[in-house]
Amino acid sequence: MYQKVSTDLNFVEREKNIEKFWRENDIFKKSMESRKDGPTYTFYDGPPTANGKPHIGHVLTRVIKDMIPRYRTMKGCMVPRKAGWDTHGLPVELEVEKLLGLDGKEQIEEYGLDPFIGKCKESVWKYKGMWEDFSATVGFWADMDDPYVTYHDDFIESEWWALKQIWDKGLLYKGFKIVPYCPRCGTPLSSHEVAQGYKAVKERSAVVRFKVVGEDAYFLAWTTTPWTLPSNVALCVNPEETYVKVRAADGYVYYMAKALTDNVLGKLSTAEGVPAYEILETCKGTDLEYKAYEPLFACTGESAAKQHKKGHFVTCDDYVTMTDGTGIVHIAPAFGEDDAQVGRKYDLPFVQFVDGRGNMTQETPYAGKFVKDADPDILVDLDKEGKLFDAPKFEHDYPFCWRCDTPLIYYARESWFIKMTAVRDDLVRNNRTVNWIPESIGEGRFGNWLENIQDWGISRNRYWGTPLNIWECEDCGYQQAVGSREELEKLSGSPAAKTVELHRPYIDEITCTCSKCGKTMKRVPEVIDCWFDSGAMPFAQHHYPFENKELFESQFPAQFISEAVDQTRGWFYSLMAESTLLFNRAPFENVIVLGHVQDENGQKMSKSKGNAVDPFEALATYGADAIRWYFYINSAPWLPNRFHGKAVMEGQRKFLGTLWNTYAFFILYANIDDFDATKYTLEYEKLPVMDKWLLSKLNTAVKEVDQHLDNYRIPEAARGLDNFVDEMSNWYVRRCRERFWAKGMEQDKINAYMTLYTALVQICKCAAPLIPFMTEEIYLNLVKSNDKEAPESIHLCDYPVADESMIDKKLEENMEQVLAIVVMGRAARNAANIKNRQPIGTMYVKAAHVLEDYFKDIVEDELNVKDVVFREDVSDLTSYSFKPQLRTVGPKYGKQLGGIRKYLSEADGTKAMNELKAEGAIKFEVDGVEISLTEEDLLIDVAQKAGLVTEGDNYVTVVLDTNLSPELVEEGFVYEVISKIQTMRKDVNFEVMDHIKVAVNGNAKIAEIVEANKEAISEKVLAGEIVTDTELATMKEWNVNGEKVTIGVEKISV
């Protein structure tokens, strides 16, 4: 006996039981062990940060990253799945600062690095348990017992090896550059970090008057960062563009680009008929070069004078555009890469009136103010002094720190860089070897990023991170990269180097002797970008090259990775960058890029908006399989996913519910018959057509789903499963239900059981990687309960292989036509308002080909039609009438319109329609003029002949004869009575095989019909006796085709 199955579709509790079964029986470990001799298929898990909680987007990444490895394992591969934790970086430091009530680097150093680092180590594991529970609930299988951890010394030592390799290639250097800088965190950011933090902001820009020396005129320049104006040392024009000197309606004389004068000056209020400006002179940008102007702020002039450098004159550079502004750009070399290049070209003074905390310095009138807060004060002061022409609001994308949400500033400082520009061609070439899903990301977003790659700002002026492994001589400045503990021990002569923790402040205590001058070398103070940590995981997780050399080489590159689209400039990039630098090859072969999860209205989820979905609540409400299924079938994985409960529940009902109910149906009747599938074999040659059709569809589905998963086509695989389960339940089981009701255990019944059993087992194995919980539960009951030799879990089984000998495409095509005819027949019944329980005499069908009697019988039975008649043409059963479409006919045949109307009204509709279909037009003459009317020239009215209803599409047309004979009407009553009795059986919870007594009271007409058809009714409802005018245990009044009748049912013993 199989375990009885509930049809309750709340699967959450069942999933917990399956999760417990996996855990207690080490199923994941066994799945790995069972494939240890198989070919390696490597999957890299992008490490999450355990000091942040999982969100709903992590469900999507987890279910994709779980499904492909499950599939490959069932295909016979050894799939290493080492979990990892990303543990370094600003997020952790910010969390600890908040915990300790600290604000910024000064307070951290006052608190003490040793205790601060200790708190960081504690913080990274804050939500570890939550992540592990979350992963288990989702069904994400990975080695959580032995994960890689980016703060472990072995991991760091591998990174040191990598950085030493990069150093030895001359690609790691220290440079004074304009870098994106977070004043809150006190550290520069890499370009790929900056790319993740842009926001659209509206703020005041400034159009400023710069007084020309020796003239009563002004240069008009525009800037979106007013806080940089106190550090202005030059102006810049485009050398090839045309500039003008104009007298404006506001009384000033300005220099600016001719192309932008209307945009800037055209709005000045003037008297009627007086122009907004008058052009006095025209010149090229080069004509303005070296023209001097007065410093905007006195402090800037003083600073320039101290440097003994000339400033405050016009420079030329072709980066100046004519798209906006005035065509004149203000230059502050401390705050922009273009500005810095101009500064170097003209040897301009370097003025940086902003400190490392983003505050204006003491030299300015705005000392101590954060740069963005200083903007309004600067604009007010300039306006008071007559130096502000305008301060228009300007909307643009501005970078914010992706960790602490502080506005970034571009800031000149010394940093360490990896020279990625030197390997640009290698990056581009390696990227072309990757199968990007979708391809457009690899070629577009990621490919374009690589084409325009910048050097990687690798250093961070922080504390909790992998220390940069460069030691520098305090005296002569000689620098040396250290690639291992062993090397550090040799250079330092200190045995402590073997065991010292490779973090600040401990590693900073190890000093070396300079090989050049003999003085002391100390480690530079910086740590590295934590994105380097995650990009190092392919080799650092194995402590390569110090250990596991062969293991790493067997698992590199990965065959598969997957993360959200924002990782194109995060993990995907750091992986590709480091792999190219170290091994000059792509680190992954296939990558599925995932879209972001949005709310049901397509909006980004956020706590502040109140539209964020708690993943734990969602999993507790719908269950893991339902959410997994939703993400697989809803849309292509790279598109944004609108997550909402209704859609999840619809998918649960449509696919999971259908599969479960089909399984429950099988168990119900198998237990009634004490059927055990292990005692029988599927004998294909003995099967009827319906069974062969299901097995053909099954093997076609297995073949196609396997191909889709093999090629990472996830929605297509899900749809293949969905379609098969729908046809198995709503066609095969419904058509074959009575075979399971038959008495005894005849061959036909065995065939039905074995066919459905085979389909359920195979499709569950096929779907196991996608919905691991439900398929496991079905397998354990359906297979393992009776077959002790079967694998312990469905996830220890091989993925099914299609049996090509069972695939019969002709059979599938015939049944597809049957289904198409049935769909149209049902539509015709609905149009005629005739229930399916009312038999109909005849239905005419026009289809691609005439079906054999077996299939014709199915259509007749399914549609409750006595005779289905195939015809090559059904147009004679329909009448057509035509009118001219005045919109098209009028312009062509205006004078003949009356004659056209007359001809069409008198034409034989059927003949005219045949001509239209055959020739593409109806042709005739009116007053000697040849008329040709195509379908777009005609208004066609289709009318069925009396008693006929037509429905059709491009493939199938059916015509239903709705004329009902008295015999057909009586039969309709019989089917209605049977339906009412079956409903009552269900309502009072009778078992399927319970026999009953039936009473029909209060309607002589119904009683007479029941008496005349007693035998047929009794067989259908398992009635041992049918009586009239008798009260039974359960009575109910019904309306049967307009006749009121009371029907009673009562269970009886047989």
Return the pLDDT at 606: 65
Strand (E) positions, 633-738? Answer: 641-642
- What is the per-residue pLDDT for 1031? 93
Residues 6+ apart with CB under 8 A from 223: 205, 206, 208, 229, 329, 330
Q: From CA 824, how far away is CA 947, in angstroms rounded?
A: 17
Please report, for the chain, the start and end positions of each structural domain, with discontinuous segments joined by +. 62-82+598-804, 198-399, 808-963, 966-1052
> What fold is seen in the domain 62-82+598-804?
Isoleucyl-tRNA Synthetase; Domain 1 (1.10.730)
pLDDT on residue 177: 75
Mark whether 161 is an active-site residue: no
What are the residue ranges of helices labelled H in 995-1036? 1004-1012, 1014-1021
Report domain 808-963's class: alpha beta
* Residue numbers of the chain with a pLDDT score lower than 50: none
Residue 609, φ and ψ in degrees, nearest 5: -80, -15
Structure tokens at 170: 């001359």
pLDDT in tens, 917-972: 888 999 999 999 999 999 899 998 877 777 888 887 778 888 999 999 999 999 99
Catalytic residue among 47, 538, 557, 615: 47
Per-residue DSSP letter, 782: I
Which residue among the candidates 541, 555, 567, 762 is catalytic per the annotation? 567
User: Does 438 sit behind a cis peptide bond, omega within 30 degrees of 0 on the bond before it?
Assistant: yes
Q: Are 699 and 806 in contact (CB under 8 A)?
A: yes
Phi/psi for 506 (5° steps) reads -65, -45
pLDDT value of residue 388: 95
Compute CA distances 198 → 91, 208, 401, 403, 833, whole Å.
18, 27, 9, 12, 59
CA distance 257 to 320: 11
Contact 313, 234 (CB under 8 A): yes
pLDDT at 271: 67
Scanning the structure block, which residue is given the tokens 């598109």?
A: 639
Options 607, 679, 788, 810, the catalytic residue: 607
Which of 161, 167, 449, 571 does the annotation list as catalytic? 571
Annotated catalytic residue, options 160, 222, 227, 531: 531
Task: Specify the pLDDT at position 373.
Answer: 93
Residue 762 near residue 725, CB atoms below 8 Å: no
Query: Are domains 198-399 and 808-963 of this chain identical in fold?
Result: no
138 close to 62: Cβ distance less than 8 angstroms: yes
Packed helices 734-741 and 658-672: angle between N→C axes, nearest 10 degrees: 20
Tell me which amino acid residue 787 is.
Answer: D
What is the model's pLDDT at position 347? 87
Choose, from 98, 306, 519, 604, the residue flagged as catalytic: 604
Q: Residue 54 in 3-state DSSP?
A: coil
pLDDT value, residue 42: 96
Distance CA 884, CA 912 (A): 13
Q: What is the pLDDT of residue 8?
A: 82
* Whether the Cβ atoms of residue 968 and residue 837 lie closer than 8 Å to each other: no
Residue 713, C-beta contacts closer than 8 angstroms, at least 6 positions apart: none
Task: Measure the CA–CA gap between 160 and 167, rounded to whole angstroms.
Answer: 10
* CATH node for 198-399: 3.90.740.10
Q: Residue 273 carries which DSSP code?
A: T
**CATH architecture for the domain at 966-1052:** 2-Layer Sandwich (3.30)
Instruction: Say which of 66, 75, 82, 86 is annotated catalytic.
Output: 86
To the query of whether residue 607 is one of the catalytic residues in this protein, the response is yes
Catalytic annotation on 471? Answer: no
The answer to whether 759 touches 721, Cβ cutoff 8 Å, is no
* 1044 included as an active-site residue: no
Residue 531 known to be catalytic: yes
Query: Does the annotation mark 567 as catalytic?
Result: yes
> Is 731 an active-site residue?
no
Asked if omega into 769 is within 30° of 0 (cis), the reply is no
